Amino acid sequence: MAAPAEEDSLGALVAQASQHISSLIRAEIELAKSELKFNATRVGTAAALFGVAAFMLHLCLILLSFTLAYGLVQLGMMTWLAFLIVTVFYIVVAGLLALIGWRRLKGLTGMKRTARSLRTLKDGPPDDALTPPTPETAGEIGGHRSPVPSDTGRTRP
């Protein structure tokens, strides 16, 4: 026959708590695994759909290029010149996009704040960071306020 709850020893209670915590952690890990699997499946499906959409847009860009070139031919331009103009246009656009991307990469500063924060955690704060600057009016009551102009002969009620 099991002993009443009041008579359980402290060791038995700790063992029960440990078992409950262990099973709770296992259940949470299983829940996280199943959620991760579900989310990974959705992300994979979305990535495949984005890939197909990008491929179709690429095909449309190729067809648009032919349309532009043959449109220039219809305006009286030689075929080779029309295709050359369209090609040069795409080269210029690609060059501009690459230049913009290069400038954005050059503007990266790295992780300066994170590195400084990690150094501070490792080495401790610098000595000057421990003492806050004191203003010249420290200790004066109302020293930071501007003076009130004197009365111009008016009396207060």
Q: How far apart are CA 98 and CA 91, in angstroms?
A: 10
Token digits of residue 1: 């026959």
Query: How far does the chain reach from its first CA to its final CA, in angstroms?
Result: 90
Give the pLDDT of residue 156.
Answer: 55
Question: For 114-156, how does the pLDDT look when each residue is reduced to its tens digit (9 = 90+)?
Answer: 778 778 877 876 666 556 666 566 556 665 566 666 666 555 5
pTM attached to this predicted model: 0.49
The model's pLDDT over 45-89, given as tens digits with 9 standing for 90+, comes to: 999 999 999 999 999 999 999 999 999 999 999 999 999 999 999
| Distance (Å, whole) CA 71 – CA 82 | 8
pLDDT over threshold 60, residue 3: no
The HSE-up count of residue 49 (CA atoms within 13 Å, CB side) is 6
Distance CA 61, CA 55 (A): 10
Residue 43 corresponds to which tokens in the numbers above? 């992300």
Position 115 scores a pLDDT of 77
CA angle 32, 37, 41 (to 5 degrees): 145
Contacts of 85 (CB under 8 A, 6+ apart): 69, 72, 77
